[in-house]
Structure 1
């Protein structure tokens, strides 16, 4: 195909399934001089599955295998696998891929991802054996009958099926080997695979292979689609930096999303407990945020245990049930997305370099099969960082395809026609068609409002269906994601418009004012509390409308005028109610309590809601609210306060905020020897590895502002006096 474009080029080719193709790219200038790339290759996937879903009809980890004869004629061999959960595949006992923690995390009712591998070089002449080990993941969560930590088990989590399943298809030349009852199945030596980090392995178990059961009637409902985003890898390997031999605590020097590797010798049946931790108590013992651990049962010889089907938030590991002398080798692998590194930051001020490292390791710890909030406590795909942190991630990693997968998860999680839930708490929120809930995939259902707002319907979270896609488009020039999301984004706007117009009925109000205030407002200004719900959430509604107008213009849709007209009505009503003009001042007050906050000035400034004649005055109000160089806001307001100050060229003020010796302050974390970002601006924060964070009193997260913003601001801010 010939095109003047550099991306967004769709090529229609008559490709065969499970086949390797080679290609190169050529470019011509106006004088017809040509430059060509080297040859690259890709492998196609499956057009139609010829085999069956197989297993042993249980929810416990299992292994399936198939022995087959290979002629050794170097016929091309392509293997495709889908599993309902996490998996590991081996050929003749060896892993065929550098990927780890395989098995996409999706809404299995809508989509199940499959992986494809070229295995030609792994085959040997004669008998070969494929082995696939399958584990629970999110498909059918296992908390060991309530004995182990599983955050969402009592928060609306529902299994997607009753048993683990595998489907595979191997094509060698024109011949197929597919999953059916000629395959064998047995119990895995992984006896518990709790996605939250409890992974038990028993090496006293002997494999007892039996014919696999064909379980097509229990197949997942979702469409089987190819895995197209960067797989997980062991990006870094850490050895223990210090060891407390008395307590058997190993310090790996870096908090991370960890999978451990341990080689150990002991007695048969000896049980060894491996306990991850992100912090220590004052007495030097570990302090766990959540009670996760792995139990290893030894075979009686020399055993190697590798964590495969979960990750831990861990800098430290404590070993119980073994002596130091029994441990022959111990490693912690930093498990993260293999997304290409695309940027870095360095300057002459070492404190800024440390801040960057702090942010980057938190980002890497949370780039998974989705963008998680932390690798320790919740592990969920909370959606607000996907637009608030988009630049932070994209300036450092190529996550174009990962963001497309997250967008698919959002579309799958959106409430469809006739679907409705009612909040079970103090306030009867109506969750209905068009809503994009706060997490995707829906591995929980947070529909309990105890009076502080809904955790399920939060507009800066749901708006990612619009804003994350728009950030992706702006960064990667990916128009396709705007097209894929457009129908869902329109449904979400319709849902928000109904919420806005129905304000009086929903919130038992009278009068002409209209707002959206269902969610959490400026979440995190106090622990588990938000403020300024009407101000912040209605501002986001306006911003969504304006971005949708721009998207509709880009896609040549007919909705631009409608979005613009609605936005102008919202802006006019917003300013009439919330913009105060008195004694030469102009500022925004909180509708709920009349407060004059940093966030309430910053959002209208950044979203273009402030009347032109009032901009300077509102900017002056924001600056006056920052006189003590502390951020007094929640996690949503934080981004826009920093952006507004940057647009005002107040970079010295931003520098002062970053380098305060007390919280909120990055310098405080650096001085406390943190290696990732804690959840709150507190020394005793609950989680220690969040790339988006809130505060018990104040909230500031330079990571969430974005490492892209970081780089931009630092070019202006690091005017240091040496």
Structure 2
């Protein structure tokens, strides 16, 4: 039976507040038969859930497209909800019934003139009182309500309340954007929160990223000096009339119990000042001021919101050698602690947050630099009180308790994990517990650093959207979670912050007011960092088939390439300006953060790579002239690279692992130099005692290149190293997230410099791509992106006896697993989603020994083609689940046995 399910609009389930003219729909097919391919679909839109009134009907449309489907010749209306349902036909003739009904709802759909409300602010804002202001408006309802929506944004962060109930489950709204050019708004359905008679609408404002501390120079008010609220409540009555409650001079404002709240510094709360929304205990409500501020930059919510994702209970209450009482959450996490306490009015308690204990077991906060991460709470006294922060978050595993009573209980505390609410899509597990923990650490690194923007770290006075870190991790991130909306929003900020000359700042959103020397001066761009403008949109295109985002970012990609092209005297080399190089490479000189790989070499290699991807984008988008230009430009860059960095005999002149990896990964060599570089890379790894020496630039590509160039088992050797430097060294040291430095905690227990030593820094977690793409073998196809063609090419290696992985793609679940059995038998299980095709590579197989669920391949009708490729068998097949069992070639088995023994 054929069914249509998992309906999505712009990646989201029943979104409200869309502003695009043509929302796209996606769905998944399920069938109890293999080889299911859609032949046609029909979409219906209605203004009613019962579909009594059809707004638009596609009719039966002959097409196999089931993701990112645009609605032809139809335009939506603002503030209107559209219900939709879909049915499909498949090639074999099956017809589905109608899907369950889903909906999407449009937002205000206009620039600044769509807003009728005023920006309002507190008259005391900017004075020495740093408390978070709270605003309120009273209004009466005396008619029956059909629907009510709040459209809201802020300069700073907001938290809404309606009739003493918090509105929505979102946090850190409206999010962090390039505030001078883009500011998101959110929409909330509050129909069920309204009541007959008097209603009270209220809001807290926090400084957030807009005017709180940002960067390492203790700067504040980088984006603006005044926090302000912009809000419209649109009420529709059953009689057809409407009423709008707007932020305007009718509102009142007062100070609040939130005495201070800052992203870096934490929050101070005085519960004695709590009151309901109709009065303030310490002063009367004051009239608000109206702020003259543009509304033209306001855009609808693009990313998924930050929400409370999960809750952790502390695993222990410790007493350190210095006598501190410390909670151990058991996991380095990002969010905050919710706690309950009972005591005398006026008593203040503190929670301090840290990632690790030092080698003596004491609470360690030096690596936080200027970020205090401190929560202070003053009790109102009497009954049990429960508190959690509003406008701050911490990165921590350990929590020092100050001022708490002696009889503290673990169940009085809960760790609240917050991050952007991305759908979990990938899972990986294997026969190695250490590798499983590494995968866990990579996942938690993403959880901790994907809080509205892809930050470098979540704990110290930084937490910035470093472009280099993002592009290094984007593919791994997209295996683990659905990152398409997340990167869509961030890439729009990247384009907004792109310089007139095409340069890209080091971090996005950029801190334009930071004019100090060094990293604060972002008037220059760095290779491998600025290349995020090209690498990220191309990766999202490959992983999700999102042609619209690629087209949207194409101009930014071109401008970045033009920026590089204009640097220096030679348009085909990038040998000028500041570059981070192979950041934190282990082959660096003493007292240097930059690895030994020549920075001009790194810059020119990434120049070639970005041009190659821009060329591909031009081909996808049908820009033939551009494609020809970038193809020729790429040839010239490769020729210049070879002249500059490769000797006539084919030897790379830069003798580092990273240099060899980049040349191979970016295909910058002729065949003679390529073969020599492959051999030399193996020697360089061997000379390092079969360890890596790469930094941020080389590490993401190291294992993929080894696997692609005949050194696959050496890649496994690197994976399984447990001493420094290695991925599993961190695991053996008790890490629960990925570290910034390979030796953040040294083997003797001492610590790397506190100046820059994050224990939640996802860049080196890019090894996750290799686990999914090579070890489990799940890969997409750039010519049929979004996993329309699913490649499953598992690569077993020494040290693992089995692997299981799955990935929820736009088309449905992909699964790949392999198991070594006795007598040289290999089992490979795969799942290919409906409406896609799979290509399966069975490693070390002889075609005559391969059985699928007990049948020879030539007796399985759903298999389209079988080919022998060296010592492997390649199979092309339709959707469905398959089990292949075969005898591994004796030669392959002998090599594997020798390599296991050597490891």
TM-score, normalising length: structure 2:
0.71
C-alpha distance 709-195 of structure 1, shift in aligned 2 (>3 A): farther
2:777 pairs with one of 708, 712, 718: 712
CA distance 1:282–1:32, change in 2 (3 Å) = closer
Higher-Rg member (1/2): 2
In 2: Cα distance, 1:131 partner to 1:600 partner: 57
Alignment partner of 1:76: what SS? strand
- 1:518 paired with 2:578, answer yes
**Structure 1 residue 224: deviation in Å?**
0.8
Alpha carbon RMSD of aligned pairs, Å? Answer: 2.6
The alignment partner of 1:340 has SS state of coil
| TM-aligned CA deviation for residue 13 of structure 1 | 4.2
Shift in alpha-carbon separation, 1:513–1:487, aligned structure 2, 3 A: closer
Does structure 2 conserve the Cα–Cα contact (< 8 Å) formed by 1:85 and 1:138? yes
2:205 to 119, 128, 134: 134
Indicate if the aligned counterparts of 2:84 and 2:103 stay in contact, CA closer than 8 A.
Answer: yes
Q: How far apart, CA to CA, are the structure 1 residues paired with 2:209 and 2:392?
A: 10
Deviation at 1:523, TM superposition (A): 1.4
Q: Aligned residue for 1:279?
A: 356
Quote how far apart the aligned CAs of 1:29 are: 3.7
Contact 1:105 1:370 in 2 (8 A): yes
3-state SS of the aligned residue for 2:273? coil
* Deviation sequence 1:286-323 (CA, Å, 0-9, x none): 10122331222222234322112121111011111222
Q: Which residue of 2 aligns with 1:313?
A: 395
The answer to whether 1:300 aligns with 2:381 is yes
Per the alignment, residue 166 of structure 1 pairs with 229
> Which deviations, in whole Å up to 9, do the C-alpha atoms of 1:89-111 show, x marking residues without a partner?
22222223222233210111101
**Is the 1:197–1:312 contact (alpha carbons within 8 Å) kept by the matching residues of 2?**
no
2:614 alignment partner in structure 1: 548
For structure 2, the 5+ residue unaligned runs are: 1-56, 237-241, 275-279, 746-750, 779-793, 802-899
1:216 aligns with 2:284: no
In structure 2, distance between residues paired with 1:252 and 1:672: 17
Q: 1:257 to 1:711 in 2, by over 3 A?
A: farther
Residue in 2 aligned with 1:613? 672
Contact between 2:574 and 2:603, CA under 8 Å: does it hold in 1?
no
- Report the 3-state secondary structure (helix = DSSP H, G, I; strand = E; otherwise coil) of the residue aligned with 1:580: coil
CA distance in 2, matches of 1:122, 1:649: 63
Matching residue of 1:45: 107
CA–CA distance in structure 2, aligned partners of residues 117 and 13 of structure 1: 25
1:424 equivalent in structure 2: none
Match of 2:893 in 1: none
Give the aligned partner of residue 635 of structure 2. Answer: 568
For 2:19, the equivalent position in structure 1 comes to: none
Distance 1:18 1:710, change over 3 A: farther
Question: Which residue is equivalent to 1:427?
Answer: none
1:626 pairs, out of 665, 681, 685, with: 685
Q: How far 1:34 sits from its partner (Å)? A: 4.3
Structure-1 residue corresponding to 2:140: 69
Q: Does structure 1 residue 588 correspond to structure 2 residue 669?
A: no
Residues 553-584 of structure 1: CA distance to partner in whole angstroms, max 9, x if unpaired?
111223111112121111111101211244xx
1:280 positional shift? 0.5
C-alpha distance in 1, partners of 2:527/2:174? 30
1:703, CA displacement in angstroms? 4.2
2:332 to 255, 263, 277: 255
In 1, the alpha carbon distance for the partners of 2:515 and 2:427 equals: 40
- When residues 455 and 303 of structure 1 are mapped into structure 2, their CA distance, relative to the original with a 3 A threshold, is farther
**1:471–1:549 distance in 2 versus 1, CA, 3 Å:** same
Match of 1:645 among 706, 710, 719: 706
Consecutive unaligned residues in structure 1, runs of 5 or more: 143-149, 417-432, 504-511, 591-595, 694-699
The residue number in structure 2 matching 1:379 is 463
Superposed CA deviations along residues 407-431 of structure 1, whole A, max 9, x for unmatched, are: 0110111112xxxxxxxxxxxxxxx
Deviation at 1:440, TM superposition (A): 0.4
1:393 alignment partner in structure 2? 477
Alignment of 1:413-424 (within 5 A): 413-416=497-500
The 5-angstrom pairing of residues 15-164 of structure 1 reads: 15-29=76-90, 31=93, 33-47=95-109, 48-57=114-123, 58-59=125-126, 60=130, 61-71=132-142, 73-142=144-213, 151-154=215-218, 159-164=222-227
Cα offset for 1:484?
A: 1.2
What CA distance in whole angstroms lies between the structure 2 residues aligned with 1:382 and 1:570? Answer: 27
CA offsets 1:384-429 (integer angstroms, 9 cap, x no match)? 233221221111111111110110110111112xxxxxxxxxxxxx
1:501 Cα deviation from its structure 2 partner = 3.2
- The 1-side partners of 2:602 and 2:360 are apart by 43
> 1:641: how far off?
2.1
Instruction: Report the CA distance between 1:710 and its aligned residue.
Output: 6.1
TM-score when normalising by structure 1: 0.88
- Give the Cα–Cα distance (whole angstroms) in 2 for the partners of residues 9 and 109 of structure 1: 33
Q: Distance in 2 between matches of 1:386 and 1:709?
A: 21
SS in 2 for 1:501: coil
SS of the counterpart of 2:267? strand
Q: Describe the SS at the equivalent of 2:566.
A: helix
Given that residues 524 and 578 in structure 2 are in contact (C-alpha distance below 8 angstroms), is that contact kept between their aligned partners in structure 1? no
Work out the CA distance in 2 between the residues paired with 1:306 and 1:450.
37
Task: State the Cα deviation string for residues 664-696 of structure 1 (Å, max 9, x = none).
Answer: 122222221111111101112421111114xxx
Higher strand content, 1 or 2: 2
Name the stretch that deviates more: 12-21 or 348-357: 12-21
